Every structure is written in structure tokens, then in C-alpha cells.
Structure 1
Amino acid sequence: MSFTLPLLRRATGSRAMARLTMFLAVMGPGIITQNVDNDAGGITTYSLAGANFGYALLWTLVPITVALYVVQEMAARLGAVTEHGLADLIRERYGVRTTTFALLALVVADFGNTMAEFSGLAAGGEIFGWSKYIVVPIGALAVWWLVFKGTFRTVERVFLVASLFYVTYVASGVFAHPDWGQVLRATVVPSFSFRAGYIIMLVGIVGTTIAPWMQFYLQSAIVEKRITVKEYGYTQVDVLVGSIMTDVVAWFIIVACGATIFAHHIHVETVKDAALALGPLAGKYAGALFAFGLINASLFSASILPLATSYYVCEALGFESGINRTIRQAPVFYGLYGILIVGACVIVLLPNAPLLKILFLSQVANGVLLPFILIFMLLLANSKRLMGKYANSRAFNGIAWVTVVVMIVLTLALVITQMFPARS
């Protein structure tokens, strides 16, 4: 992509228009990566937060947005400056053994996460009365065809369009007719409860925001798109826009469920329950839009998660990778992508598959891995030899380390609460 930017600069008349044109050329990796964060698991978490606690957790999305930007900005900067993926940098800096351990755990976690996306697709289809034995195979085939047959440019455009469909959750929130005064007050005035359920939900919201795979995918996408430090200012805006977009969507999901399900004291346990409950309370369009959003998010994330896995495995082991390469040029990359999709699809379709146990183990793996990945990133971003003048500044380091410490504490708390759930 970088080789096209000088042409764009010369072809554009005004300075402001040139900047806009260059931003449109560079944008994509940040917006896509962070919107995928609102996957089936994320939507479930936000739905249950609104259904069980109303607007009480809206305030958490403000600091979460800052944390998301800080971590993703580091990943994007590492990619633009070094022109290498994160797995490649970890292998070069910390050795094969460390990289192999991280890879194995990441592959297991991402396989579980991919199954979660196809489970979300099945749940979304069932809301409309569609059998999972039809919806899931069609979805898997569509995801496979997109990546195997498309170029990076084509795939990125499809992903950007999918990001726009998250507006369905904004519409659901508006159709719910909340008390906007209460909503805004809950957003800017923090409230806290020491009830076990509240703390677990708080940790769940934070834990679903920053996942290990996101850092690998974003950095790999920056490298494949050939974004360098010359265009990095535009990438920072891309990451910022993505951070705000993903948490605005989360905000409206909580608002929609808080204004309806929580207000009417309806008990729900899954995102499917939430979507079905929204219909009678906020109108059939709100429930239908909510369900459509779940299907879109599940397909979107089912495309990205195995793609991220293929990127970092091939980077770490020295295999060719990238959507712009053919199957002959990158057989391991495409082979792993196909195996993850087919395997996840088959297990979801099994009548008595232990999905809850698998999802639990993938969440634990994510929780254990995240602190290590964040520390690796900080050490790499602070290396003057690697980053030169683009290494973290003292001010940025302070924010970044606080973010990492908070994420480590909350992630460990999430793992502990899932391993030793409260009995009361």
C-alpha cells in the first residue's frame, strides 16, 4: 500500500483532501481488528451486563476505550516500524522455545474462540427459525471462499462493510427508548458494587475487550498492507476510530438490554434469550436487528480469528503467509485456515459436543496468555535498537504499564472466578 500513497498525494488538489484520501487508503486494520472484538462472546457479555445490571456498567467503557487504544496503538506501531509481525519479533528476540509455548496455547484458545463464533451463528439463525445444520455449513463455506479466493484488498473491503453492519445495535438501542438522562449519567458517573455477580461481570467486560489474537492480527495486517512509518499517523487515526467504534457498539448493546430486559425484570442466560426478549419489549425490528447483528458479528469474527492464527503460526515458523499469496505459495497458511474452520464447524454441529467446557478452556487460555503477550509487546516497543525514535515515550510508557497491570489483575481475576465460581 505504501507505494500508492505518493501517487495519491500528487493526484489530489488540496492538502486537506490529500490527507483524507491517504487516510482512506491506509484505514482498515485498526477498524477491522477492533470491531471483530465485538464477536459472539462479546455481544453475549454486553447483553447480559445490560440485562442483569441495567446501565450500572456503562461507565466502564470509557477507561476500556483508552486501554484498547493504548495496546492496539503499540501493536500497529511495532508493525509499521519493524515491518515484521509480532510472532516473528517474539521469535527473533526471545527464542523458539518461548514462541512455541505461546503458539500452542494461542492455537488452542483461537480454536475454541472460532467454535464460539459458529455457535453464535447457529444461535442467530435459530432466532429466525433456521436450522444450525444449514446455517453453519453455509457460513463456513462463505468464510472459506472469501479468504481462499479473494485478495487482501477484496477481503479488507468485505470486512470494512461488515464493520458497518454493527449499526444494527445502535438502532436496537434507539428503538428501546431508554431514559437518555439516566444513560448519560451512568456513563460519566462510576458506580461500584462488591456483589460477586457485579465483579465477575465487570471483569468479563474488561476481559472481552483485549484478546491476544488481536495484537497478532493487527500487526500482521499492517505489514501485509505495507504501511510504514511514513503513513503511520493515518494508522493511529484508524486505530483510534476503531477503538471508539467498538465501544460505542458495546454501549448501545448494554443500553438496549438495560432499557428493556432489566427494566422488566426478565431473566435471560444467553444472547439468543436477549434477542427474543427484545422483540415484545422494544418492537419486532429491535429484536430482528439484534439477531442480524449477531449473525454478522459471528461470520465476521469466524473469518478473522482463524486468519490471525494462520498469520502468527506461519510468521513464527518461517512459512509464507498472506492473503495476497496463492495456495501454492502459502500452503501452510491456507491449510491451517481451512482446518480451523472445518474443525470448529464439525464440532459445533455434533449433537452432544461439550461446547461450554471447550469455551471455558479457551477463555482460561486467553486469560493466561494475555499478560505475557502484553509484556512482550511493551518490551519490544521500548527497545531503542528495534524502534529507534519510535520507542515508547515516558508518558506513553506510564499509561501503557498502568494499562498492562490493570489488565493482568483483571484477567487473573477472571480466570480465578471461572475456576472457582462463587456458590452463593
Structure 2
Amino acid sequence: MKIESKKKILSPMMVKLTLLLSIIGPGLITANLDNDAGGIATYSLAGAQTGYRLMWILIPVTIALVMFQEMSARMGIVSGKGLADLIREKFGLKITFYSLFFLLFADLGNTMAEFAGIASAGEIFGASRYFTVPICAFVVWLIILKSNYKTVERIFIIGCSVFLTYIVSGLLAGPDWMEVTTAIVKPNFHSITYKDFPIMVALLGTTITPWMQFYIQSAVVEKGISTKHLWHSKVDVIAGCTLTLFVSMFIIICCAATIHKMGITISDAKDAAVALEPLAGKYASMLFGIGLFNASFFAAAILPLAASYYICEGMGWESGVDRSFKEAPHFFSIFTSMIVIGGAITLIPSINLFNILYYSQVIDGLLIPIVILFIIKLCNDPDIMGEYTNSPTQNFISYILVMLMFLLNIPMIYYTFR
């Protein structure tokens, strides 16, 4: 009797767990692969230059990330359409074209940043960029063109697990946990200087990016998630955003406890990893390098993929990983072009890889408020969302966050270009 009773209790739980695991994917992948090469460079720079001072900003930024990712996922599930598709339908082809043009320009820079990250990670382990970049570009291209969506999603989820190396690196760095906690829960706003604004915008731009809003919506559409699984999708989003928060925090902690403490200046991601070895040990440096390669490799796949989705949706072309090249020629041509251009420019000898990594995040920070305004407008359209429109509380918080994003951009632009 006890065994039968236990089975009756466990069976529904196992069914729910299996269902949740079948839905998990888009939120976890989007949030974690957002910790890309540019993100790692930005977090490393923040830790090396400002120590723990700006860690507090990751908390409100992550809350905003959860809200906006949930809105995009919900919109995709309810409408069955991608974000660019809905923008075209509601705002017209002209607005869609110019919006996507600037997004594509930014994402091409981001794709270059990913290959720059691959190059830097390879150099940490003594491999030339002229070897690692072409090989990785080809493998990335092969994975997307020769696999279906389910296989690609599984590969991306495996990639997400490697981000745990940064948490281990942070622990090996031996930070002052009291100082870390104080910086998070009791931020010193008086210590903020004009030099911090570009870093603050870059932290925003690397955590909440335009491409990820488009990707998560396209991913839930291609996965075929229904409205009865909205709760499971929300869990997926929250889990992904929580993990990315911990990863980003530990990257900052790792560099703040070592590089900032010793007053070392870094110029690229390779410098950060190399500087860690004498300060935090060989394993911390090695794990940092492995994490950089993993992040760069998978983001080099997902960024061109996101761009291919939103361009094809915006133009009304066929799209999707599950389609063949003949069925979606524009989709795979855009993906291939971004891989080739991004990889080729990274191989130019005189190019400053770290500037590509860093300023691509700043551009994202400037673009994201505009994308979020599109999302809020569409999420409040009953013709699209029916009974699943935003609540008044969601709208109030969303508009406050967008206003803060715009306000943060003003001093950054002034102090950067004056």
C-alpha cells in the first residue's frame, strides 16, 4: 500500500517535471548566451576598473531582463509570430526596415565581437586566431545548417552549463565577501563619476540586448509552445535570468578581487585571463579562458541566427532552423554572410579586438530602449494578445525602466563624445 501510495504521489510530480523540462530552453539559452564575449569583456572591465562598486546595478537590470524576456516569450506564444513580424504588421514596412537596419548593423558588430572573443580565448591557450576563427566559423555554420531546432537547442543548453566555470573562477579568486555583499545591498551612489557612465550603459547593454528580445520570441514560436504552458515558459525565463545574474556577478568578483586590487590595467579579455594566473592561480585563469571560448563560440552561432530570424520576419521571408536552404534561402544566406563577414574582419591584423567587444555593448545599450517600447506597445494590443495583455503594474514598471534607460544614455553620450 505504501509503495502504491508513493507512486500516486510521485507520478503527477514526475509528469509536471517532465513537462517543465520539455518547455525549458528558449529562456535559459537566450539569457545565458547573452553572457557572450562582449559581455565577459564588459564585466571584466567593470571589475578591473571599478572593483565591486557597480555590482548593485546588476540587480535592477536583471529584474528588467526578466520582465522584458517574459513579455517577448508571452507575445510569441500567444500570437505565434516573431517580434519583427508583429512590428511590420503594426507599424509598417518603412519603420520596420530602418529599425532592423540599425539592429543588423549592431549585431554585425556583436558577431565580430564573438569571433574576437574566440580569437582571444585561443591566444590564451597559445593558438593563433588564424586557426581558431576559421575553424570555429565553419563548425558554427555546420551546426545550424545541418541540424534541426531540437538538436541546436540541446547543443546550446550544454553550452550554458559551461558558464559555471566563471563561478568557480570567482571562488578561487578569494574575494572579501563582506565587501561584495555591502557593494550589492548598500551601493555608494556618491562614488559614481562621469567615467562610470559608459561602463554602466555597457552593463545594461550587455545584459539586456536587442537581439535577445527577437530571438526568444522566434524560439518559442519555432518550438511551438502553447498558451497552456505560459507558466512553464515564465519559469524558463526566470531560471535563465537568475543563472546569468550569478555568472555576471562572479566575473566582476573575479576581476575585482584580483586585477582591480593589484591596480593592473587590462586592454582585452586575454589580459584578464593572463593576469589572473599569478593572482588567483593557474586553474582560475584556465577556467576563465574556457568560459570565454564557450561564450564566444555559442554566441557566434546564436547572434547571426537571431539576426536571420528578425530580418526574414520583418521582410516576410521564410525562416527557421527546421527548414532547408531551398525552403528558406534568405534565412540561411543572412546567417552565412554574418558568419563570413564577422570572422573575416576579426582576422585583420591591426584591428583592436577589445574595442569591438566593448563598444558593441554600448551600442546595444543605446538601442534597447527603442526595442522595448515596441514590445510594450505590442504587448498591450488586444488584437495581438487577447486576454494576455500586460497588467497596469507591468506597464508602469516597464515605462519607468525605459525612462531610466534613456536617462542613463544621456550622460554616457555627453561624456563619451564631448
TM-score range, shorter chain: over 0.9
> Cα offset for 1:221?
0.2
Aligned to 2:296: 298
Q: What percentage of aligned pairs have identical amino acids?
A: 48
Within the alignment, does 1:401 sit opposite 2:399 as a pair? yes
Within the alignment, does 1:100 sit opposite 2:97 as a pair? yes
> Cα offset for 1:82?
0.4
Amino acid at match of 1:269: S
2:159 pairs with one of 157, 162, 176: 162
Within the alignment, does 1:62 sit opposite 2:59 as a pair? yes
Aligned to 2:241: 243
1:22 pairs with one of 4, 19, 24: 19
Counterparts in 2 of 1:18-167, with a 5 A limit?
Answer: 18-167=15-164
| Contact kept? 1:279, 1:286, Cα under 8 Å | yes
Q: Take 1:368 and 1:53, find their aligned partners in 2: how far apart are those partners?
A: 22
- Residues 279-288 or 311-320, more deviating: 311-320
Counterparts in 2 of 1:273-288, with a 5 A limit?
Answer: 273-288=271-286
Q: Take 1:400 and 1:337, find their aligned partners in 2: how far apart are those partners?
A: 32
> Structure 1-normalised TM-score?
0.93
| Contact kept? 2:205, 2:368, Cα under 8 Å | no
> Cα offset for 1:203?
2.4
> Cα offset for 1:314?
0.8
| Contact kept? 1:307, 1:337, Cα under 8 Å | yes
Number of aligned residue pairs:
410
Aligned to 1:321: 319
Aligned residue for 1:196, secondary structure, equals coil
Q: Take 1:406 and 1:19, find their aligned partners in 2: how far apart are those partners?
A: 39
Within the alignment, does 1:383 sit opposite 2:387 as a pair? no
Deviation per residue, 1:320-373 (Å, 9 max, x gap): 111111111111111110111011111111223476776687556534432221
Aligned to 2:4: none
Q: Take 1:165 and 1:182, find their aligned partners in 2: how far apart are those partners?
A: 27
Q: Take 2:302 and 2:410, find their aligned partners in 1: how far apart are those partners?
A: 26
2:333 pairs with one of 332, 335, 344: 335
Q: Take 1:319 and 1:29, find their aligned partners in 2: how far apart are those partners?
A: 22
| Contact kept? 2:41, 2:358, Cα under 8 Å | no
Q: Take 1:356 and 1:52, find their aligned partners in 2: how far apart are those partners?
A: 15
Deviation per residue, 1:12-60 (Å, 9 max, x gap): 9622222211110001101111112111111111111111121112211
Deviation per residue, 1:214-271 (Å, 9 max, x gap): 1111100010000121111100000001111111101001111111111122222222
* RMSD of aligned alpha carbons: 1.9
Aligned residue for 1:267, secondary structure, equals coil
Deviation per residue, 1:142-182 (Å, 9 max, x gap): 10011011110000000000000000100100111112222
Amino acid at match of 2:132: V
| Contact kept? 1:37, 1:208, Cα under 8 Å | yes
Q: Take 1:32 and 1:380, find their aligned partners in 2: how far apart are those partners?
A: 24
1:371 pairs with one of 366, 369, 378: 369
**Structure 2 residues not aligned, in runs of 5+:** 1-7
Q: Classify 1:201/1:366 alpha carbon distance in 2 versus 1 (closer, same or farther; 3 Å).
A: closer
Q: Take 1:12 and 1:32, find their aligned partners in 2: how far apart are those partners?
A: 32
Amino acid at match of 2:169: S
| Contact kept? 2:85, 2:313, Cα under 8 Å | yes
Aligned residue for 2:220, secondary structure, equals helix
Amino acid at match of 1:127: I
Question: Where in structure 1 do 4 or more consecutive aligned residues deviate above 6 Å?
Answer: 356-361
Q: Take 2:11 and 2:413, find their aligned partners in 1: how far apart are those partners?
A: 53
